Structure 1
Amino acid sequence: MSYLDTITEEIKLTEHINLITSNGLKYLSIAHPKATASISLFGAHLLSFTPTNSAPVIWMSDDAIFNGVKAIRGGVPICWPWFGPAKESPTVQPLAKTQEYPSHGFARNSHWQLLSSQSNDDSCLIRLQLTDSPESKRLWPHSFNLIAEFIISDTLTINLTTYNTGNDNFDYSSALHSYFQISHPDAVSVDGLDQSTQTPRTLTGEVDIVCENPSATIALHDEQLQHTINIENEGNNVMVVWNPWESGAKAFADMPDDGYKTMFCLEPTIIGKKAVTVTAGHSHTLTTTLSVTPR
């Protein structure tokens, strides 16, 4: 993949985790008997996850840009502390809505700190941290400590915990903007997007919807790959379902024109109108756990 084109340094952190520097950016490469994965410290961005003897679970654009400035197309971007355009988010200060603020917040465009990494025969545990700074307070005037925790085994868990380290309460919205690898749109269906209707949803064209009554577990079935990706979520209040289809893919410089055929976004999300309030000294966690079962 392009982010490993020029490796200038590789440090072994544990038996299963290496810290790689490539083109000036840092990545964690995980090679465990139960799964392989990779994480960019830019954005605390999961780039890949493949359980042993399984097809890849996570989709990454072949044209993704890894320059430490632009958000990476594919993987699991972290949208925080707002989701969607800043001007439409009630969690953004009114003044910010008159200026050019990044869509989906600033966490996915920030360089994170590696807090810890450990591994054993069962799993790998990685924790990354982002804290407030003068630049973040220009965009969002709150004190915070944001921890992204990745537990990698034959399953993958991402815990995104928002700590309010200031003296005032704040509201935030967020998403784990998961891009899933699929074989072909005709081969997939989804269960659990709305608890009131358990009818599978199929992918037949451009889709960008908010499902406001999702089950705790979403099932993405792929008949061609003969497996189901199970997506268990906590801390979200909606699921966002997205595929840009042909016209949308062509509009993205960092996605192949046919990229829409092999990706499907199912995103545990906290939307602005249902923003979470974190009181001073407290925290809130958004979690997704991914597993694969054969069909």
Structure 2
Amino acid sequence: MTTANVDTLVLGELKCWRITTARAELVIAQQGAQILRYRKTGEPALLWLSEQALFKQGKSVRGGVPVCWPWFSNLRRNPEAVQAMYNGEPAPAHGLVRGCDWQLLGIEEQGDTVRLEFDMPQAQGGLPDWPHSVELRLCIALGDSLHITLSNRNLGAQPVTLSQALHTYFAVSDVRQVQVQGVEGLDYIETLADWEQRTQQGALTFAGETDRIYLDPPPHLSIVDAQHKRRITLHTQGSHSAVIWNPWTERATELPDMANDAWQGMLCIETANAWHDVLTLAPGASHALSVRISSEPL
């Protein structure tokens, strides 16, 4: 039986919770139900958080695990069915819930695991220019690994179509020295080359800006980081797409909440329903998107 310590703290303008156990530390902001920090005891952080992150109301924090919903990325790059759900202009990148306060439903210990559950009440008809009703919840389980589940249930009388992602920023020693395994042979969309579809040859390594949507990935992808002497593994469910992103040099200089050289220490692998992997939920239908993040020494 684990014993967890739960503290409240304020980072800038944001209320947060810090959960510590003998095995790990987790920090979560009420805004966006965004995980900001995950570190296993005695190890380097598993999640990356920008040293220049802005903790401001209404603005997603650069790092951790932002929740992208009810669309991922630029709405106009989504299928027409996702675009048709939204009546506003302009459409903010990555949806409508990253800058909203979520409701903490509870924190409980179950054996060696601490579980937190959040609800996004505004998704039930209160999001501006998105006139639909979906029960949207985020469950976070902290144990030997970190398990994140985003659950959707259509409460309305009409089908709802959406895209979504758990936009996870991983901490790495040097992105130029790591590789992503599990993508070998996969088709992907190269967004930096007019959204061409290509095929991955071998494991993925990094030598420039990267922004790719991998199609039908296996349920396990891993980051092999020789300098940190560890393998970070993502175990996913409910997803048929994975987005891999690093801004590299020029793009990083355009991001005000990120140091010019910070791209070296981060890599995003986003567990997603993106591109043509979108959800259409019939009335009463449910879907769960989840990722379990674990690490082991090399």
Identify the range of structure 1 (283-292 vs 63-72) with the bigger mean alpha-carbon deviation.
63-72
Give the number of the structure whose residues are more often helix, by fraction: 1
1:61 aligns with 2:50: yes
Question: Could you say which residue in structure 1 is the equivalent of 2:119?
Answer: 129
**Once the two structures are superposed, what CA deviation does each residue of 1:125-176 show, in whole Å capped at 9, x if it has no partner?**
100100236640x331110111100001120000000111111111111011
- SS at the partner of 1:73? coil
Q: 1:41 aligns with which of 30, 43, 47?
A: 30
- SS at the partner of 1:36? strand
The within-5 A match list for 1:97-176 is: 99-119=89-109, 122-131=112-121, 132=123, 135-136=126-127, 138-176=128-166
CA distance 1:194–1:269, shift in 2 (3 Å)? farther
1:17 aligns with 2:6: yes
CA–CA distance in structure 2, aligned partners of residues 52 and 24 of structure 1: 28
Question: Could you say which residue in structure 2 is the equivalent of 1:291?
Answer: 294
CA–CA distance in structure 2, aligned partners of residues 276 and 73 of structure 1: 26
1:236 aligns with 2:225: no
Code of the residue aligned with 1:27 in structure 2: it is C
Measure how far apart 1:258 and its partner are.
0.5
Question: Could you say which residue in structure 1 is the equivalent of 2:252?
Answer: 249
TM-score (norm 2): 0.89
| Alignment gaps of 5+ in structure 2 | 187-199
CA distance 1:228–1:94, shift in 2 (3 Å)? closer
- SS at the partner of 1:186? helix
Asked if the contact 1:16–1:119 (Cα under 8 Å) also holds between the matched residues in 2, the reply is no
CA distance 1:192–1:67, shift in 2 (3 Å)? same
Asked if the contact 1:170–1:278 (Cα under 8 Å) also holds between the matched residues in 2, the reply is yes
TM-score (norm 1): 0.90
Code of the residue aligned with 1:96 in structure 2: it is N
- SS at the partner of 1:139? coil
**Shift >6 Å, 4+ stretches:** none
**Once the two structures are superposed, what CA deviation does each residue of 1:242-284 show, in whole Å capped at 9, x if it has no partner?**
0010000000001100010000001111114221111111210
- Tell me the number of residue pairs that the alignment of Structure 1 and Structure 2 aligns: 280
CA distance 1:95–1:165, shift in 2 (3 Å)? closer
Asked if the contact 2:103–2:119 (Cα under 8 Å) also holds between the matched residues in 1, the reply is yes
CA–CA distance in structure 2, aligned partners of residues 58 and 183 of structure 1: 12
- SS at the partner of 1:124? strand
CA-based RMSD of the aligned residues comes to 1.8
The within-5 A match list for 1:172-251 is: 172-194=162-184, 196=186, 199-251=202-254
Code of the residue aligned with 1:278 in structure 2: it is L
- SS at the partner of 1:96? coil
